[in-house]
Amino acid sequence: MRLLVINPNTSEEFTTAIQNAGDMVKSPETEVVYLNPSRGPRSIECVYDELLSCIPCIEILIDQHLEYDGFIIACYGNHPVITAGREMLIQPVVGIMEASLHLACIVGNTFSIISSGDRAVTMFQDAVRAFGIGSRCASIRSTSTPVLALKGADSSKVEELILAEARKAVLEDGAEVICLGCAGMAGLDKRLKSALKVPVIDGVTAAIKLMEALIGCEIQTSKRRAFSPLEGKEIVNLPKMFTSPYGW
């Protein structure tokens, strides 16, 4: 089984953190490649950032779609490349947010999500509603710090903030499970869990194990309705590669 994990932002240190977390949980039989595009924003914190990162991610999917059994989009949220990837490909495409929420629903009645920055709160609310599991969400809380601070000099201070918000989610909002709302938080789950005494779920590891589950059950993306094969159409003034998903 070969998986490709795409970090849609251009920060290598995030990709490294993702790889460290992923390699810790993957089965010995699973081969995982981790990469990020070479152009685009350093972090993804709004829809504008998401859109800047889409074409570079799509290029990776087009180039490498024959090489892997599954694709993970390692950006916490409902990144539009997840849906586009499902339209383009037959292999499963898993986002790390979805993955963490589905696992959370198995081990608790309610979950809360801790995001880095404030504007992710709205994006995550929309995503949770779009996934159709809004009634399980106790709260979405933010540390009010930029995503990049997670890997900066003050990373331990940021970790304190995450712990503080997670604690409020548990004590005040009724959260039974905490989901870490950023790929850059990969690796924090163990420490937080022992501090909070509730399950803490990192999306990257959740996505890798969920992908192994799907592939282990030989479940691929449905090609009926929402993600049916793309029909051919003319594209104007764009590189020819972008027409190939219409045809394969």
- Answer yes or no whether residue 216 interacts with a copy of itself by CB under 8 A: yes
Q: Which of 72, 105, 120, 248 is nearest to 176 (CA)?
A: 105
d(CA 41, CA 71): 21
Binding letters toward a copy of itself, positions 44-63, x by CB under 8 A: -xxxxxxxx-xx--x-----
Among 8, 77, 92, 181, binds a copy of itself (CB under 8 A): 92
- Answer yes or no whether residue 130 interacts with a copy of itself by CB under 8 A: yes
d(CA 214, CA 220): 7
- Answer yes or no whether residue 223 interacts with a copy of itself by CB under 8 A: yes
The DSSP annotation for 141-194 comes to EE--S-GGGGGSTTHHHHHHHHHHHHHHHHHHS--SEEEE-SGGGTT-HHHHHH
* H/E run at residue 70: strand 70-73
Among 35, 59, 64, 133, binds a copy of itself (CB under 8 A): 133
113: β partners: 140, 179
Among 64, 105, 151, 167, binds a copy of itself (CB under 8 A): 105
Among 72, 97, 177, 182, binds a copy of itself (CB under 8 A): 177
- Answer yes or no whether residue 155 interacts with a copy of itself by CB under 8 A: no
Q: Which range, of 149-157, 159-167, 180-188, 217-225, touches a copy of itself by CB under 8 A?
A: 217-225
- Answer yes or no whether residue 67 interacts with a copy of itself by CB under 8 A: no
Q: How far is the CB of 161 from a copy of itself (least distance, A)?
A: 17
Q: Which range, of 42-50, 150-158, 160-168, 180-188, touches a copy of itself by CB under 8 A?
A: 42-50
Among 67, 153, 194, 231, binds a copy of itself (CB under 8 A): 231
Size of residue set near a copy of itself by CB under 8 A: 98
Strand order in the sheet with 200-202: 137-142, 111-115, 177-180, 200-202
* Residue 79, token pair as written in the block: 């990144």
Q: Which is nearer to a copy of itself, 86 or 162 (CB)?
A: 86
Q: How far is the CB of 223 from a copy of itself (least distance, A)?
A: 7
Please check whether residue 179 is in contact with residue 201, taking contact to mean a CB–CB distance below 8 angstroms: yes
Please check whether residue 108 is in contact with residue 137, taking contact to mean a CB–CB distance below 8 angstroms: no
- Answer yes or no whether residue 43 interacts with a copy of itself by CB under 8 A: yes
